Structure 1
Amino acid sequence: MLIAVIRKKLEQWPVHVLLLILFFLVHGYRDSDGLAPVPDLLLYGSIVTVIAWILYLAAFRFYRDRLRAGLLISLLLFCYLFYGVVQDAMQQSASLTGMARDHVLMPELALLLLAVALGLKMISTLPVKLTLYLNLLLLIYVLADLVLLGVRPFKKEPAVVSDTHFVKPACDTCAKPDIYLLLLDEYAGTRTLMKEFGYSNQDFVNGLRARGFFVADTPSSNYAYTPFSMACMFNMDYSGWKGMEQDINAKHYTMAANQIGRSPALQELQRQGYELQNLSIFDILNRPAAFDQGFMALKLRLVTDKTMWERFRKSLFWQFDRKDGWGRKLGWDGAGRIGKGNSEMISRTMELAKDTAKRGPQFVYTHLLMPHPPYLFDSVGRRGDAGYLSYLKYASREVGKLVDTIMKGEKGQAVIIVMSDHGMRKAGVDWASKEFNNNFNAVYLPRRNYDYFYASISNVNQFRMLFNSLFDSKYEVLKDSVVF
């Protein structure tokens, strides 16, 4: 009797609308190896459910039939939520690759939905068992994923390989100056600037040297993408990413971000008594990122990365962020948000430098998304996309002011690191090239004891050499290699 009642309900109600959303969330969480944050998933799922309910009511008003309305909304949800899955599958076929491009596939799906919507209005009856079939199919899919969540462990993140003497004891007798890490995202090195633009940034270099900085002549990053480069630097070791550089996705970015958050360098700073001030784009040791990443946090994109909106956003990113682009006209101002974030991080860093009531040493990690695109200012600070080089000149001037503020507020007694995560990226250049990885690296130590720093230093050795200089940690110098 109970089974008959349940079957009747499943024939009469389009529960598959909700089950499709639930399957998307559960399967996405399992596919992310448990890295996607559950609260964010629930929020995202709630928003999609509300929108689906509104659309269902509109469709019901049109059809005066809940089964037709439910079928149309489930098809619409499938096209939106699993857009990237369909697109990727089409791209695997040589005959369908052309049809898989966004500007072709999206109109195709729109026409399909329109045809289905009109067809459902015109036909007299739906197949009797169709709603039952869809409900049972999606219910089985959801239950299967829930079972697999319980019986199959998630894949582990790549391990950080460290030497046996990796954990160093805290130095009780060493001075503990404040440390400022000023990270300029995608700031190219001297060699690349001269090769690509015929431009010498020697004025910026000489200005830092005049302030007492050591500036490396030929530094390099170990990875050409921010999360991997920063994970390598904070881990003080290579991070096990070799071999996946041709298929980087949101899962890899999240794994790298997780490594940064619990990295040995940050843990050592805590052991040395440092308070961590996080003005970056990453969460570090339970301190959330201060730089606003927008509603779609990185970890949530583990699940949403293949939705229609994410594919649309990526393919039209530049159009959305151009000052005269559609995005600005529609109120989307991703570039403005990045500009605001840069300004706020600089302002907060200055405030920390001027704070005379500090109780102990602090490590300030300030991550600035410049001269990383979008290029927000020209060389004299006028708003507008003036290109990479002009924005780099602007960034050099702004960080110079920031350095002066820190040195004045700290009376020259703070460590200041001005460096980039990697060099300038350029279409058609191999990821493991010297150009991608030729970055910028300058360090100021109050005691000017730069014996451990050298001209070709790479990011993997940055904290090793810093801790040797400050705390006599005796870390070995690792081979400076470009991985990708």
Structure 2
Amino acid sequence: MFLKWKNLDKNITLASWVLIVFIVNNACLCLSNFEWGWFLVVLIGGLVLVRLGEYGLGFIFRKELVPVVIIVLMIPLLFFFPIVNRCIVPVIPGLRIRYQLLIVVLVCMMIIYGVYLLDKHYSLDRYIKNITLFAKRAMQILVILLAAKGVKDYYTVELPFLQRQTLVPSFSKTKDSCNIFLLVLDERPSEKTLKKYFEYSDPLGDKLSEYGFTVYPHAVSKYTSTYLSLTSLLNYGINTGHTNYFLNISKINDPEWVNDLKNNGYGFEEYSIFDINHTAMKNDKKAKLFSRRNFAFQLFNNTFLWNWLLFRLKTFDEYNQRGICFLKEKLIQSTILRRQLVYTHLLIPHAPYTKDSIGNYKYIDNNFNYLINNTKLQIPYLDYIKYCNKVVTELYESIKNDTTNLYIITSDHGARFNFMEEEDKKNTFTAIKWPKQIPIDSIKSHPVNCIQDIPGLINQLIFRVKKKD
């Protein structure tokens, strides 16, 4: 018989389902994006672990030590931000893999530890054998179902991306046209959001207006997720939906807008957490937080405690400082660059808040309190907002007299604190300095109400591409 249910004890718990769904789900994430190598690694690795588990941990360790061993092995996975922020979310492909892993670990640890300590009549060895036997049988069914769903998602989500506009610039390829500088400030809220929740009057918009920027106070993002928001933005505002993580990453790393510009004579440079056209590796190998080419990196990045402490409190700031230097250099070169799209993504004012208002580095010991405590959040968060403003104003002061290039400053989404209303989390800070060839009347008659509309608006105003109905 295919499933020998009689071999299973009746005390099969939630841990069985969580364990098998995690292994199969991540295998199907690879399969649905045709990453066959990693699919085999995850699936075969999972089967090997299941087989080893059938012999029971009691075979290796003294039974009295097993709960201790389990807890010690799981401690490196306990970093608090994803726990608090994600533990109530189901295990779905839209979540980052390390969040899924964390949920699985916590549930399994609690169940195994609880069963062993509270039910002395149910041995740990017998418990683990039942879990792993059930997992092995369930995998044979679930891998077929989830793989089919993954492949279905790939093709059904792929279709909307094919409905795209073609860039036909009014300039010849030999004639100079404006450079495009796109700066994304991760999680930068709008002025009205800061006023509503923190009673803070944000001066950044007024300062940028002095530099010739048009500020769009009502601009929002379609999504509150970084990779969904920017996938949509760089692919002409397409509705991505909460679908396969790797599919969205494949789209953001090969975006239609960037490809259209490159096909029409533009160069492309980036410093970002993505790997658009495989350019991030040229600037900073550590910058690639989102990648479809490196499954292992997604599985283990920010997972272990030592790596979390290093990355969250040190490497975040180092990444930002390198990005600031990158953009500063490109802005200085703005008068000599020709037909370039320069994309910079700074993790400011995204937590952790490692700078005070004037830019001095500080160790933050309450990064997690902001999820539930507005009072403890306010001072370090507003200091970081002020630091963000300082960085932006200093960077763009050098180009305040430039009227030939296009400068875009926006955020992927707004602040996402738990005490905020859901719609307010989509409010972004957005400002654009249009080149002088764009009439003022055209700028006023084309407001930016959604950041995902920016590439299409640029095509329409600068490259004279007619907007499709």
Counterpart in the other structure of 1:380:
358
The amino acid of 2:193's aligned partner reads T
Question: Are positions 1:453 and 2:431 aligned together?
Answer: no
Change (3 A) 1:304 1:286: closer
Following the alignment from structure 1 to structure 2, what is the Cα–Cα distance between the partners of residues 164 and 24? Answer: 34
Q: Could you tell me whether the CA contact under 8 Å between 1:36 and 1:302 is conserved in 2?
A: no
Following the alignment from structure 2 to structure 1, what is the Cα–Cα distance between the partners of residues 167 and 308? Answer: 53
1:369-425 residue CA offsets vs partner (Å, 9 max, x unmatched): 1111122212122324443222111011112222234x28x9664321111122222
- Deviation at residue 440 of structure 1 after TM alignment: 1.2
TM-score normalised to the size of structure 2?
0.65
Q: Could you tell me whether the CA contact under 8 Å between 2:265 and 2:339 is conserved in 1?
A: yes
- Deviation at residue 438 of structure 1 after TM alignment: 1.9
Following the alignment from structure 2 to structure 1, what is the Cα–Cα distance between the partners of residues 263 and 149? Answer: 38
Following the alignment from structure 2 to structure 1, what is the Cα–Cα distance between the partners of residues 350 and 194? Answer: 14
Counterpart in the other structure of 2:325:
347
Counterpart in the other structure of 1:391:
384
Following the alignment from structure 1 to structure 2, what is the Cα–Cα distance between the partners of residues 266 and 333? Answer: 29
Following the alignment from structure 1 to structure 2, what is the Cα–Cα distance between the partners of residues 274 and 161? Answer: 25
Q: Could you tell me whether the CA contact under 8 Å between 1:37 and 1:299 is conserved in 2?
A: no
1:99-152 residue CA offsets vs partner (Å, 9 max, x unmatched): x9988863552365689999989x9xx9xxx99x97998499469948996999
Change (3 A) 1:193 1:144: closer
SS in structure 1 opposite 2:277? coil
Question: Are positions 1:437 and 2:426 aligned together?
Answer: yes
- Deviation at residue 61 of structure 1 after TM alignment: 6.8
Question: Are positions 1:200 and 2:201 aligned together?
Answer: yes
Following the alignment from structure 1 to structure 2, what is the Cα–Cα distance between the partners of residues 468 and 153? Answer: 36
Counterpart in the other structure of 1:262:
254
Counterpart in the other structure of 1:420:
411
Counterpart in the other structure of 1:167:
166
- Deviation at residue 191 of structure 1 after TM alignment: 1.4
The amino acid of 2:113's aligned partner reads A
Question: Are positions 1:109 and 2:112 aligned together?
Answer: yes
Which entry has the higher C-alpha Rg, 1 or 2?
Answer: 1
The amino acid of 1:415's aligned partner reads L
Following the alignment from structure 2 to structure 1, what is the Cα–Cα distance between the partners of residues 120 and 284? Answer: 43
Change (3 A) 1:404 1:292: farther
- Residues 13-412 of structure 1 mapped to structure 2, 5 A cutoff: 28-31=26-29, 33-35=31-33, 37=35, 106-110=109-113, 138=136, 141=139, 145=143, 153-155=151-153, 156=155, 158-159=157-158, 161=160, 166-173=165-172, 175-202=176-203, 204-241=204-241, 252-288=244-280, 299=292, 332-354=310-332, 360-382=338-360, 383-385=362-364, 386-405=379-398, 407=399
Structure 1 unaligned runs (5+)?
1-20, 64-68, 90-99, 242-247, 314-319, 321-326, 479-484
Change (3 A) 1:198 1:412: same
Counterpart in the other structure of 2:10:
none
1:21-60 residue CA offsets vs partner (Å, 9 max, x unmatched): 999766632255523855667888999999999999x987
Following the alignment from structure 1 to structure 2, what is the Cα–Cα distance between the partners of residues 392 and 201? Answer: 9
The amino acid of 1:390's aligned partner reads D
Change (3 A) 1:255 1:150: closer
Following the alignment from structure 2 to structure 1, what is the Cα–Cα distance between the partners of residues 147 and 212? Answer: 56
SS in structure 1 opposite 2:320? helix
Structure 2 unaligned runs (5+)?
1-18, 78-85, 92-102, 365-378
Following the alignment from structure 1 to structure 2, what is the Cα–Cα distance between the partners of residues 160 and 104? Answer: 37
Q: Could you tell me whether the CA contact under 8 Å between 2:24 and 2:142 is conserved in 1?
A: no
RMSD: 5.4
Following the alignment from structure 2 to structure 1, what is the Cα–Cα distance between the partners of residues 160 and 132? Answer: 48
Following the alignment from structure 1 to structure 2, what is the Cα–Cα distance between the partners of residues 159 and 88? Answer: 24
Change (3 A) 1:214 1:393: same
Q: Could you tell me whether the CA contact under 8 Å between 2:183 and 2:345 is conserved in 1?
A: yes
Following the alignment from structure 1 to structure 2, what is the Cα–Cα distance between the partners of residues 427 and 111? Answer: 30
1:291-345 residue CA offsets vs partner (Å, 9 max, x unmatched): 666898565998999x9x99x96xxxxxx9xxxxxx5799544232211111111
- Deviation at residue 470 of structure 1 after TM alignment: 2.1
Change (3 A) 1:365 1:398: same
Greater CA drift, 36-45 or 342-351: 36-45
Q: Could you tell me whether the CA contact under 8 Å between 2:456 and 2:467 is conserved in 1?
A: yes
The amino acid of 2:451's aligned partner reads N
1:448-480 residue CA offsets vs partner (Å, 9 max, x unmatched): 62544344532122112222232122325x8xx
Following the alignment from structure 2 to structure 1, what is the Cα–Cα distance between the partners of residues 288 and 47? Answer: 17
Following the alignment from structure 1 to structure 2, what is the Cα–Cα distance between the partners of residues 330 and 167? Answer: 43
SS in structure 2 opposite 1:217? coil
TM-score normalised to the size of structure 1?
0.63
Q: Could you tell me whether the CA contact under 8 Å between 2:253 and 2:278 is conserved in 1?
A: yes
Q: Could you tell me whether the CA contact under 8 Å between 2:167 and 2:261 is conserved in 1?
A: no
Following the alignment from structure 1 to structure 2, what is the Cα–Cα distance between the partners of residues 224 and 426? Answer: 11
Change (3 A) 1:52 1:136: closer
Among residues 456, 459, 465, which one is paired with 2:457 in the alignment?
A: 465
Q: How many residues align?
A: 403
SS in structure 2 opposite 1:376? coil
Following the alignment from structure 1 to structure 2, what is the Cα–Cα distance between the partners of residues 237 and 423? Answer: 17
Q: Could you tell me whether the CA contact under 8 Å between 1:25 and 1:303 is conserved in 2?
A: no
Following the alignment from structure 1 to structure 2, what is the Cα–Cα distance between the partners of residues 470 and 415? Answer: 9
- Deviation at residue 262 of structure 1 after TM alignment: 2.7
SS in structure 2 opposite 1:236? coil
